[in-house]
Amino acid sequence: MYPPIDRSCRQIRLLYFDRSNFDEPYDNRIRLQTRTVELGKYPPFHALSYAWGDEPPTYEILLNGKPFPIRKNLYDALCDQSHLFPMKSMWNNFWIDAICINQEDDRERNHQVDMMSDIFSLADSVIAWLGPESEDSNLALDTLTTRRFAQDRSAILAFFKRPYWLRMWVIQEFIL
């Protein structure tokens, strides 16, 4: 499933959507392909920051043509791609830790985790997916941009109670 990564030259895997079977109506699974690149060199890429969630992987995508299990939160993010990456060109090269890092290989996972600050720093953009939109999401975002904190405090509190903000990595990803 995963081609090996050369740790000596700081390689990472990037994802792109496989649209080759896009017109097949019987199979609407998300299809992704990987490419291995050296971090800091061409091509530009975008990184996704999101909350993994506690539940086991129960959704399936196709990765390099093979079934690959993912968690609900990532599945929802990928299904919401029109909001996640507003321009289609942004889907040409993107990085998602749960897919781009071989989670079964401890050495690779540890090496890639050590590089995460560089990965997020060198990304053209970091997209924070906070979860599915709720009825007060727009109010919360409007409030944050207009700074009317006093009257809309409950919307802000609900916004920051989302699981995304409880993650250990969120501060590092957000700052970078």
pLDDT tens digits, 36-78: 999 988 789 999 999 988 888 899 999 999 999 999 999 999 9
- The pLDDT, as a whole number, for residue 88 is 59
Residues 4 and 160: their CA atoms lie apart, in Å, by 38
- The pLDDT, as a whole number, for residue 40 is 87
SS (H, E, C) 91-158: HCCEECHHHHCCCCCHHHHHHHHHCHHHHHHHCCEEEEECCCCCCCHHHHHHHHHHCCCCCCHHHHHH
- The pLDDT, as a whole number, for residue 35 is 94
Angle between helices 153-160 and 137-146 (to 10 degrees): 110
Residues 133 and 68: their CA atoms lie apart, in Å, by 26
What is the Rg, in whole angstroms, of the alpha carbon atoms belonging to the chain? 17
Which sequence spans correspond to the domains of the chain? 7-133
Contact 33, 66 (CB under 8 A): no
- The pLDDT, as a whole number, for residue 151 is 60
How confident is the chain (176 residues) per 10-residue block, as mean pLDDT?
A: 88 87 63 93 90 89 94 90 58 90 95 95 90 80 65 74 72 63
